[in-house]
Amino acid sequence: MELAEQRYQHWCAQKTLDPELRQELAAMQNDADKITDAFYRDLEFGTAGLRGVLGAGTNRMNIYVIRRATQAVADYLNETDLPKTVAIGHDSRIKSDVFAREAAAVFAANGITAYLYPRLEPVPALSFAVRTLSCGAGICITASHNPAQYNGFKVYGPDGCQLTPDRAAQIAEKLQSHSYFDGRKTESFASLLAAGRIRWIPDAVLDAFVDAVLALRMGSGSLSDLSVVYTPLHGSGNKPVRRILKEIGIENVYVVKEQELPDPNFSTVKVPNPEDPAAFTLAMKLADEVGADCIFGTDPDCDRVGIAVKDDAGKYYLMTGNQIGCVLLYYILKSRKALGNLPADGAVVKSVVSTELARKIAESFGLVCFNTLTGFKWIAEKIQQFQEKGDHTFVFGFEESYGFLSSTFVRDKDGVNASLLIAEAAAWAKTQGKTLYDILQEIYKTYGYYVEKVVSVTLPGKDGVVKMKEIMKSLRENPPKELAGKKVLAVRDYLADTRTDCEGHVTPAGLPKSDVLYFELVDDAWVCIRPSGTEPKIKLYVNTNAGNPEDSAKENAELVE
């Protein structure tokens, strides 16, 4: 009998199995493919914790997977000198609140005090709580911007940062010593709460988070003339983002009513992702009606934010994550220079797959720009290194996937922080009779016309995992000499930690090991390919730069083909 079938039978034999999951198991009884997909593996525990489709099985997100993962984190925490406290948050997804309470009960059963947000709150608020409450770890139940059928178990260290590979590996090892049904939840949530072993995170912590974000303001000018449309896409950003916009004096904030309240099914969108133009359909309709200057959209856990602003024709233009990052960086550096508080040792940090335009901007203001692997934990790690070594002052960090940060009190991407900066930047542009689209064009004229394209190919299931490995293996063994007529100058293999130039000279790639291939091309172009760490996708990043937008776009399109 195959492993998947053995596991399926074992789950079916559990007398106390959750009734909803038992019903799902019964429905797949005669479907070998469904059984295989649900049980052929355990969800992989990595630096982003766990993430997967909801349902019955070891390759799914359910209360048994949550309990097992929580027990592994508890084992790890109890073997360290870290505080025996943990902060827990959740977003608006299906069963997020249930999973958060299950995790809290398991921690409490292991002698670890669990601090739980009493309502859905953004990821950055959880990161802030971990640091503010001096916790040994943090948990956020979220699948970020994934489709509605997903949920996840994101783990944070005592620094409020997602797990580094060494900590993730230690917890993954602990997982192997636990089955899915070896019993960890000994008392009810209510009794543990009454005994003080589970505690609600006080409102004062969230108030302190909002105050800290407000302190990030670049200027003190009035924003009362700015008109904004905001959509939380049914998620946790609704109250904190609106609170921030109100606090900084924006009187004209119009919220997309159809997407205002939590909805775990995200019924108005295909995916609740600000990277997806379709997610802004209702917001654009409202913006046209009210004549808004700017549109904001945050994903369900409010760590990402997308925006749309008016272009030369008066139409709303959806900016990419790279464009938002560069506009915010430019605004921050211009503002800090004018205020006289731009640090001489200032540093900007971005992911290796994000635009090199940011480097040009940073260096023009005398700052250095560092690349990291994809994943905001690596940017957070650089912040920590700067503070420990005292060699640089962190100014701004971003990823092309719509994640931004200008603070050090949060160690993850922060949609609340970014919303404040975007609003200020939009108001700053408006005082000059411009929009953020105009500012973007000024940046291009000054630094070059950079065009970026991300292509994602979904490869679900067991066969998809094999296919992704085959693609990466083939590219490593037979790297191309040129792409779309552009010569490959060097290949960076971050898994092997090598950079091999066209003459065959090999030097270190210079970043931690990761399944990423990066092709340096002539004319400042580059192509990068990597499997996603959170979705069944392989991603292709194509970046070009030319003296005018037409040539850069043409070259980019040729490389994508």
320: helix, strand or coil: coil
Model pLDDT for residues 477-534, shown as the tens digit of each residue:
999 999 999 999 999 999 999 999 999 999 999 999 999 999 999 988 999 999 987 6
Q: For the whole model, what pTM was predicted?
A: 0.94
Q: Give bridge partners of residue 255 from the DSSP assignment.
A: 230
Chain centre distance of CA 430? 30
pLDDT band at 183 (very low <50, low <70, confident <90, very high): low
- Report residue 104 as tokens: 């809290």
- Report residue 438 as tokens: 């105009």
Least confident of 23-37, 373-387, 546-560: 546-560
Assess whether 134 carries a catalytic annotation. no
* Residue 10: count of CB within 10 angstroms of its CB: 14
**Which residues are CB-contacts of 453 (< 8 A; sequence separation ≥ 6)?**
541, 542, 543, 556, 557, 560
- Report residue 215 as tokens: 């302190």
Phi, psi of 398 (to 5 degrees): -160, 160
Instruction: Give me the mean pLDDT over the 131-154 stretch.
Output: 96
127: helix, strand or coil: helix
What is the dihedral angle through the alpha carbons of 401, 287, 425, 319, rounded to the nearest 10 degrees? 30
Q: Looking at residue 185, what is its pLDDT?
A: 61
Q: Cα(30)–Cα(84) distance, rounded to whole angstroms?
A: 46
Q: What is the DSSP track for 3-35? A: HHHHHHHHHHT-TT--HHHHHHHHHTTT-HHHH
pLDDT band at 48 (very low <50, low <70, confident <90, very high): confident
Q: Where are the beta strands (DSSP E) in 216-287?
A: 227-231, 252-255
Least confident of 183-187, 281-285, 396-400, 457-461: 183-187
Name the more confident of 446 and 166. 446
From the list 127, 144, 335, 552, the catalytic residue is 144
Nearest residue to 467 via CA among 531, 373, 517: 531
479: helix, strand or coil: coil
Least confident of 13-27, 429-443, 493-507, 526-540: 526-540
Q: Cα(375)–Cα(360) distance, rounded to whole angstroms?
A: 22
Chain centre distance of CA 215? 23
Least confident of 139-143, 405-409, 513-517, 531-535: 531-535
Q: Cα(333)–Cα(320) distance, rounded to whole angstroms?
A: 20
406: helix, strand or coil: coil
Q: Quick check: 104 pLDDT over 60?
A: yes
Model pLDDT for residues 252-270, shown as the tens digit of each residue:
999 999 999 999 999 999 9
Q: Quick check: 142 pLDDT over 60?
A: yes
